[in-house]
Amino acid sequence: MAVKGATAHTGVLLVTANVGSLFDDPENLQKNWLREFYKVVHAHKPHFMALHCQEFGGKNYEASMSHVDKFVKELLSSDAMKDYNRARVYLDENFKSQEHFTALGSFYFLHESLKNIYQFDFKAKKYKKVTGKEIYSDTLESTPMLEKEKFPLDYFPECKWSRKGFIRTRWCITDCAFDLVNIHLFHDASNLVAWETSPSLYSGIRHKALGYVLDRIIDQRFERVSYFVFGDFNFRLDAKSVVETLCTKATMQTIRAADTNEVVKLIFRESDNDRKVMLQLEKKLFDYFNQEVFRDNNGTALLEFDKELSVFKDKLYELDISFPPSYPYSEDYSQGMQYMNTRCPAWCDRILMSHSAKELILKSENEERQVVYDHIGPNVCMGDHKPVFLSFRIAAGAGKPIANVHKCCLVQ
């Protein structure tokens, strides 16, 4: 793959992908997924590439380990990646520890033309020059080249452990330092609970967890640098507002459990038109009669209900979204554009950044479509999540020089 030298501009590609489905049906999904991923790599020809995976290994990591090894080997040795002669792979494989396991996987690839690139050692508080290909797994807590945390137990809904947390690495390219944070936040456990209030209970839980991560990466332990936070945020549309809008002229029927009187189903019917069912809502059912509303014009009419990021507008920036909701797609490999009727489609998978990172990207943009924010595999089954990517270029000297990168300060 021909990539122009990194002297004037350094091409960067950031990708986030919840890949749990790939390990539940590896034979049918992994080949498609990799092919579409390589297409994006080939189209944008980055010098530096970061792939942040969530639910790496699928629902049962231990049973999927052979598929995990095959996937990693393919990424590191495929012909499509042959010009990336340095790599760092960080896999959380500590599946036997409920207190620590996050199922996160972070991959970083460096093109052979990229010369001076350094990674931060959080323990020594110095940068190291990156050489060769290295894989770290199992207990990442002892690896000084990253910070990994699972959220505290009281952050988890009902204080029940699940695989949610973050991994942070720090890099320096062309005298420009930045953090890359792989993140997985909490999902909506019940559509009915999400519908009850605006904003939802789950939105508040995600707000608290994301605030925790941001506090950690801008605290006083290390010098502050620009940062990119990308992963599965599980951001959802404001369910109450969406239902009210989609079912404006509908009447609602409530079905309760006979023994507990708990609401188990809501049915919204048109007031006329033979009382046609428009929407059925259960704990894990969101069955709307017309899926096209989520695909028309890439679903942008629904962006007004995408509100969870607004509370962080002083700390986080996102480029305009022009792709359809990234979740929940059908896991049937023949249904690449179909959503499952389990959740209201939403933009769960995102690439966010600090305002200083925004300036870094935008002031380096001097050609048409230099910055691209999009999804991968629009017509192909990629699992229940479509990966999302951000491609941009960093101009030489665009960032503030970091004093600690001087040769005398490097850990050799």
Flag whether 75 is in a domain: yes
| Contact between residue 86 and residue 110 where contact means Cβ atoms under 8 Å apart | yes
Flag whether 385 is in a domain: yes
- Whether 389 has a pLDDT exceeding 90, the answer reads yes
| Contact between residue 140 and residue 148 where contact means Cβ atoms under 8 Å apart | yes
Q: What is the mean pLDDT of residues 215-229?
A: 95
| pLDDT tens by residue, 325-345 | 999 999 998 999 999 999 999
| Token pair for 189 | 């456990």
| pLDDT tens by residue, 208-220 | 999 999 999 999 8
Flag whether 270 is in a domain: no
Flag whether 256 is in a domain: no
Confidence class for position 62, pLDDT limits 50, 70, 90: confident
Flag whether 412 is in a domain: no
| Contact between residue 294 and residue 302 where contact means Cβ atoms under 8 Å apart | yes
Which of the residue ranges 22-26, 68-72, 172-176, 402-406 would you say has the lowest mean pLDDT? 402-406
Q: Find, among 285, 246, 242, 248, the residue nearest to 266 by Cα.
A: 285
pLDDT value, residue 61: 86
Q: Is 316 helix (H, G, I), strand (E, B) or coil?
A: coil
| pLDDT tens by residue, 252-262 | 999 999 999 99
Q: Give the Cα-Cα-Cα angle 91, 30, 13 (nearest 5 degrees).
A: 60
φ/ψ of 322, rounded to 5, equals -135, 25
Give the separation between CA 291 and CA 276, rounded to whole angstroms: 16
pLDDT value, residue 153: 87
| Contact between residue 170 and residue 119 where contact means Cβ atoms under 8 Å apart | yes
CATH code of the domain in which 334 resides:
3.60.10.10
Quote the domain boundaries for residue 102.
9-236+290-395
Flag whether 353 is in a domain: yes
Domains of the chain: total = 1
Flag whether 411 is in a domain: no
Flag whether 332 is in a domain: yes
| pLDDT tens by residue, 299-321 | 999 999 999 999 999 999 999 99
